[in-house]
Structure 1
Amino acid sequence: MGQSMKWAQGQIENCLYRHNLCHTRGDALANPTRLIDVASGGTGVKLRDCTSLPGSSLDYAALSYCWGDYEPKCMTTRNTIQRNLDYISWDLLPQTFRDAINFTRGLGLKYLWIDSICIIQKDNDDWCREAGKMFSVYKGAKVTLVALHGANSTAGLRETTIKEESWVVANLQIGQSIIPLCIRSHHYLANPDKGYFSGRLPLVNRAWTYQERIISPRTLFFDQGEVIYQCASEIRCECGKSIQSHGSSAASDAQSTSAIQRKWKSYFASNYSHLKVTNPRDRLAAIAAIAEQYQQIRPESRYLAGLWSDSLLEDLIWKLDVASKGMRVPFCFRMDIGRPYNLQTWSWASFQGTIDFFSLMNTEPLAQVVEANCVYAKENRFGVLEESKLVLRSRMLTCIMDGGRLYEPSGPRFGVPARMLTEWSLDIDCVQDCSQAQAVCLFQVLRAHLDRVFCLVLRLEDSSVEPHILSRLGVMSYRTSQRYHRTQDDLLLHRRFAHVGTMEEIEIR
């Protein structure tokens, strides 16, 4: 890969000297706790403790790759850390790590960061501490090497089993020479703002690697036949193709408070929500670096398990994006997606599935945030969530949900038999929670344009304490104006809220 190294080095130097937009590192970023020293040459490397290294800002590369189901022999644990600090033999390194080391040397860099070597694995204390430093690790790297292909670290930076997709379509004869005319597949990295990664690549389906690409100031993607360079200013391929980049920074395109809030939800949270993690506790930690960068442009806001305090009520109004899966059907017929993560039900991060947010304009709060707090491991406010508390106060109405329809509860309090309030207007998160008729609570959150009221659909979990504890089942909305109502159901539900609904203070878990 000697030619690719020379080309990549030229792109990095051009960026450093000519791209004002890309000068993002800053002096405040701390060095990683540990780095791999690759400068010895020949075979073998060693792990270095950066607290003992001179200099305040080290130049290093970082690696982004798929772990898969393979644990490399060079992995750092409490049992192997001293060995790795002394020397890591070449035969212990899988092919992707070897390629990354050689490429880092070719770029003239002395250090390389690889998570499985630079973080002590199977050690909860070190993992929780280091997982919260991914922003500074990838933001501070001079360049990130991305192994697009390969299900684990044995495949190499370039997957050797994949052939370059090019075909000979004709032969040109010039004098005595015959020159083949070839075509190749279209560049799928052509537009980063329109989902430029192919879903067939293992790397792009993983949660951890998403923030690694987003946060890095300069990235080298190792594709089938060439290396592709991206920074905040441009995208260039070895073949000569070049387009202007719109930037991968988490703070780009945010010109106002509302734009900042919208981009977090509509771009980063939505794109991240369907990505997979092996360990459920990593769900929030794997987007922590993007959240930390967003904190810089939302300094007055508090990060709350994927939501933000300055837009909390709007952030609560999320739903599963079943339309993207071609499932335009009532909730009772939807695929059972479920909640595989033990996180608070009010957070979109509690799901494995694509999350969508409503387009909300001219909102008026109907709920009061009484308390909203999160406690994170190792006091890292962007890392592993240990506990949280969300207490809201608003008007609440009890209904019966059955088969996608809402009914009034029958009984002396209501003075009427069960009557249907509305149907097919619920966005329910999880079929397994809603397969049988049950009492639910509609909790008003906010009013948006065209007199549309959004409610959380909640289920009572514990009424023995004050405030009562409920869990989220989904969201719904209805119109409050005669002018904009869709059906008589909306007006009936609106009247029931006014006549029977009560102001309640509740905790959602």
Structure 2
Amino acid sequence: MEDPEGSLCAICKSSFHIFNERGTSNKIAHHRKYSDLVMSKDVGCFICTWIWSRHPPPRDEGGVTGDPDEQFTIICEIICNESFWQGYECRITFNISCSWAVNYILTVRLSTRKEQRDKYHDMMARPWAKLDPYIGSPQSLESVQSWISSCEKSHEDLCRSPTEAGAFFPTRILDVQKACCGYVFLRSRDEAMVQRDTGEEDLCCHTPTSTLEHVYPAYWTLSHRWGDPSKINQLCKETEHQLRAGIPLDELSPTFRDATLFVHRLGYRYLWIDSLCIFQDSEVDWQREADIMADVYRNSFCNISAISPSIDPSLGGLFRQRMDNARFLYPFKTNIGIRVRSPSELDYGPWIAWNDSIWIDEIESAALHTRGWVVQERFLSTRIIHFTRNQIYWECLGCTHCEADIMIGLVNSRKVKDEDYIQRKRGYGYKASRREIIKEKANLQARRGRTELYSGGGISPFFWLTILSTYMTCNLTKDSDKLIAMSGIVKAFRVATGDTYLAGLWKQSLHYGLLWKSTANRGTRIRRNESYAPSWSWASVAAVGTGSGVELCDIYRKEVKPLIQVTDERIVAEPPGGDTTGLLRSAELDIKCKLSYFRYRNDSWWPGRLYVDEYMTDCYGRFEFEYTFFDMSDQVEKFAEAGVIEGTCMPICKVEIGRTLYALMLEHVEGKKFRRVGILQCYCGDHDTRDFSDEWKAWWIDGAMNDLTGVITLV
């Protein structure tokens, strides 16, 4: 295992032979038995080891375990159509499904590009042999210190946090100065304040003067999974005295203990942990601290992301043995023949191969990042250190690093492409959005405070919707946190854009924001959010179980023409006069639009049709059942069983390519008030407009906003 040359088993090699002979990228069967995969792993096959590390043997629970061979399959697909001036790149995806772990996709990249082959020379030094097998060793600390130093020197405009100027400090903080003696103390904000000599010069006599000012020192934060609350330390009225007097490190949970030691060893004094700095038995304190949670993470010097592989997060800790052999954290070289143009034309490389899923596996797919609150924590934190199962990763607004840095160089060497978008957008969205906000705030002064929204300047809705799509996949313990848990992200966007926030959506891009759909039509049980949210907001629905049950229509990178206009909004916070990015009492939108009408018949070739008029005589679009998305499960069931359903809808926007119209399905409440019940996607070809009146043609073909004829209120 000390050689840069990589080992591949006979099955992996045969997959390439099959690909070469077929001349196509059809799916190829890989290992058919789990026992065969284990044998290949044992003899050192890199690809099989990467697969096995994500699918170790099933645990024997209660003495009953099925046969793994009967519950395990792998299908691989090879694509080699990415040619470059200086070489080729091949992508292999392995779809693994088994009964004892979640389905998993491994992506392996092979490249003959000069940029990648140069990495081979770095591998000749065998860096894996020099990597300490223990995460949190002095070597790990040295790497982190070098990343911090580099960031402070090179990313001053991007990564300089306000606390470096002493601008903000949490209400309570943990003092880790005496961690070397085995104790940590709870301090108040005032106790942490220090005096700083500004050292200004007297302009009259040109002599230095000493002026003292009170400032706050830098502090760190921790993102972690709670797991069983009874197994982690908490600040309560009964434990406050003990925490202030000093709590022994060996009484802290492993994650808290390691985070404390880590911050202390790096030379910093203060660390903020939610469960130890917010009273857990006081609703009043929690609400007050929740309001400034965004400031806590935004102003922290660095955030520690505790990605624990343990079943019980409270027992995982940060410092541990690397779970995989260090050699498999690095790429390898192989001279296997791969078809690049035709079955008769093989390229024998040398190919540099690496695990292209490493960032996705260890960070983006980690259980920690399924927590709704962590989306905001990660978005707002300028610098993050991820402790994973195999190594420490660094992430700031300017760069990423890891202890096996050759790996990061390969993974991040390519731009985000369409085929990678779904997997990569989670990590891409966080920092790209922050950088865009920083750039936009810098431009505001040049424009003297005038904002330019979404056309020819300003922040594209792509950045907000990318973050929102990530947030929608996460879980929250309480429905009431749904809007609160991203209020810090909202405020950052609002400062940079000047746009009006509308209960999870934005006024200037409302036609994008309304295009969310529930997954009730796919069998997810969807209910109304127990905490108030207007029907038109994605926050109004929740899945029974885990997940939000909501996703966005993926059109926000396409050319879209809006067909609605907001004329007034009435967003009332709870309590009235409070923060409209958090809990709400009521929310209404007055929207100028052209109402349309739909009819659905089960016995028709095109079962759904949209009509211009209320009498349903002028049809201008068709839709099918699979393009109808009701918000609630009971509505889906009713729709599927009914012979004929008729209703009112509001066209939202049209997508230029494909002549596709998106419309909200509405339920009449009273007067001009309507409630959203779903969304439908309708095809409207040019021929459908031939019998329209001139007024309707102007609206549909030109999308003229001044042709909107009526105003309704969405509640």
Short-chain TM bin? 0.7 to 0.9
* 1:268 matched residue in structure 2: 467
Instruction: Please state how far the C-alpha of 1:506 moved relative to its aligned partner.
Output: 3.7
AA in 1 matched with 2:243: N
CA contact (8 A) 1:59 1:111 kept: yes
Larger C-alpha radius of gyration, 1 or 2? 2
Once the two structures are overlaid, the 10-residue window that deviates more, 361-370 or 202-211, is 361-370
Preserved contact between residue 104 and residue 110 of structure 1 (Cα < 8 Å): yes
Counterpart-to-counterpart distance in 1, 2:466 and 2:186 = 37
- The 5 A counterparts of 1:206-355 are 206-241=371-406, 242-243=408-409, 248=431, 250-253=433-436, 257-258=453-454, 260-298=459-497, 300-320=498-518, 334-339=522-527, 341-342=529-530, 343-350=533-540, 351=542, 352-353=548-549, 355=551
Give the total of aligned pairs. 463
Deviations 1:61-98 (A, max 9, x none): 11111112333452012343343233334344111000
In structure 2, C-alpha distance between the alignment counterparts of 1:446 and 1:203, rounded to whole Å: 36
Moved more, 241-250 or 99-108: 241-250
Shift of 1:205: 1.5
User: Tell me, what secondary structure is at the counterpart of 2:221?
Assistant: strand
Distance 1:448 1:233 in 2: 35
The residue correspondences of 1:27-106 to structure 2 (distance < 5 A) are: 27=165, 29-41=167-179, 42-54=181-193, 55-72=214-231, 74-106=233-265
Within the candidate set 197, 205, 220, 2:370 is matched to 205
Cα distance in 2 between the residues matched to 1:469 and 1:158: 55
User: Relative to 1, partners in 2 of residues 1:406 and 1:431: Cα closer, same or farther, differing over 3 Å?
Assistant: farther
Q: CA offset at residue 287 of structure 1?
A: 1.8
Is the Cα contact below 8 Å between 2:397 and 2:434 reproduced in 1?
A: no
Tell me the distance in 1 between the aligned counterparts of 2:649 and 2:588: 20
1:341 alignment partner AA: N
Is 2:665 aligned against 1:457? yes
Question: Aligned-pair distance for 1:468?
Answer: 2.5
- Partner-residue secondary structure (3-state), 1:127: helix
1:11 to 147, 153, 160: 147
Q: Where in structure 2 are the equivalents of 1:146-157 lying within 5 Å?
A: 146-149=305-308, 150=310, 151-157=312-318
Q: Is 2:507 the counterpart of 1:507?
A: no
Q: Is the 8 A contact 1:270 1:355 kept in 2?
A: yes
How big is each residue's C-alpha offset from its partner over 1:228-268, in whole Å with a ceiling of 9 and x where there is no partner?
Answer: 11211221112333547977153324677327232234410
Deviation for aligned residue 1:12: 0.8
Q: 1:231 to 1:89 in 2, by over 3 A?
A: same
3-state SS of paired residue (1:204)? helix
Residue type at the aligned position of 2:504: G
Q: Aligned partner of 1:375: which letter?
A: A
Match of 2:96 in 1: none
1:164 equivalent in structure 2 = 324
The 1:383–1:218 alpha-carbon spacing in structure 2 relative to 1, beyond 3 Å, is same
CA separation of 1:415/1:312 partners in 2, compared to 1, >3 Å: closer, same or farther? closer
Q: Cα 1:472–1:102, aligned 2, differ >3 Å: closer, same or farther?
A: same
Higher relative contact order by CA 8 Å / sep ≥ 6: 1 or 2? 1
Pairwise CA distance, 1:270: 1.0
List structure 1 runs of 4+ shifted beyond 6 angstroms.
244-247
**Conservation of the 8 A alpha-carbon contact between 2:623 and 2:683:** no
Q: Measured at CA, do residues 473 and 240 of structure 1 come closer, stay the same or move farther in structure 2, by a change above 3 Å? A: closer
What is the alpha-carbon distance in structure 2 between the residues aligned to residue 452 and residue 354 of structure 1? 21
> Do structure 1's residue 115 and structure 2's residue 274 form an aligned pair?
yes
CA contact (8 A) 1:74 1:84 kept: no
- Per the TM alignment, residue 59 of structure 1 is displaced from its structure 2 partner at its CA by 0.8
Distance 2:319 2:710 in 1: 58
CA contact (8 A) 1:72 1:92 kept: no
Instruction: Tell me the CA shift for residue 313 of structure 1.
Output: 3.1
Asked whether the 8 Å contact 2:484–2:583 carries over to 1, the reply is: yes
Deviation, 1:222, is 0.9
Change (3 A) 1:476 1:86: same
- Name the TM-score, length of structure 1 as normaliser: 0.78
Q: CA deviation at 1:469?
A: 4.0
Q: In the alignment, is the contact (CA less than 8 A) between 2:511 and 2:564 conserved in 1?
A: no
1:414 and 1:229, CA in 2 relative to 1: closer, same or farther beyond 3 A?
closer
Shift in Å at residue 354 of structure 1? 5.0
Contact kept in structure 1, 2:672 and 2:713, CA below 8 Å: yes
Considering fraction of residues, name the structure with more helix: 2
Q: Structure 1 residues 478 and 303 mapped into 2: Cα distance closer, same or farther (>3 Å)? A: same
Distance 1:148 1:390 in 2: 41
Cα 1:147–1:422 change in 2 (3 A) is: closer
Deviation of 1:314 after TM superposition, in Å, equals 2.9
Alignment check: 8 A CA contact 2:176 2:264 kept? yes
Following superposition, the deviation at residue 221 of structure 1 comes to: 0.9
CA distance in 2, matches of 1:338, 1:238: 43
Distance in 2 (CA, whole Å) between partners of 1:33 and 1:184 is: 49
Question: Cα–Cα, structure 1 residues 402 and 390, in superposed 2: closer, same or farther, change >3 Å?
Answer: farther
Checking the alignment, whether the CA contact within 8 Å between 1:70 and 1:152 is kept in structure 2 is no
Distance 1:293 1:415 in 2: 46
> Displacement, 1:302?
1.9
Tell me how far 1:165 sits from its aligned partner.
4.6
Query: Quick one: which amino acid aligns to residue 46 of structure 1?
Result: F
Amino acid at match of 1:474: I
Which residue is equivalent to 2:93?
none
CA–CA distance in structure 1, aligned partners of residues 660 and 471 of structure 2 = 28
Q: Relative to structure 2, which stretch is displaced further, 44-53 or 229-238?
A: 44-53
Match of 1:476 among 671, 681, 690: 681
Given that residues 188 and 198 in structure 1 are in contact (C-alpha distance below 8 angstroms), is that contact kept between their aligned partners in structure 2?
no
Query: Residues 387 and 393 of structure 2 are in contact (CA less than 8 Å); yes or no, is this contact kept in structure 1?
Result: yes
Q: 1:366 to 1:73 in 2, by over 3 A?
A: closer
Q: Taking structure 2 as the reference length, what is the TM-score of the superposition?
A: 0.57
1:415 and 1:204 map into 2 onto residues whose CA distance is: 48
Alignment partner for residue 564 of structure 2, among 366, 374, 389?
A: 366
Identity across aligned pairs (percent)?
23
CA distance in 2, matches of 1:25, 1:31: 12
- In the alignment, the residues of structure 2 paired with residue 66 and residue 34 of structure 1 have an alpha-carbon distance, to the nearest angstrom, of 20
Aligned to 2:637: 435
Which runs of no fewer than 5 residues in structure 2 stay unpaired?
Answer: 1-135, 194-213, 329-351, 414-427, 441-451, 543-547, 701-707
Matches within 5 A, 1:401-416: 401=600, 405-406=607-608, 414=615
Tell me if 1:186 matches 2:355. Answer: yes
| CA distance in 2 between partners of 1:186 and 1:96 (Å) | 28
Q: Which of 364, 368, 389 is the equivalent residue of 2:588?
A: 389
Partner SS, residue 45 of structure 1: strand
Shift of 1:337: 4.3
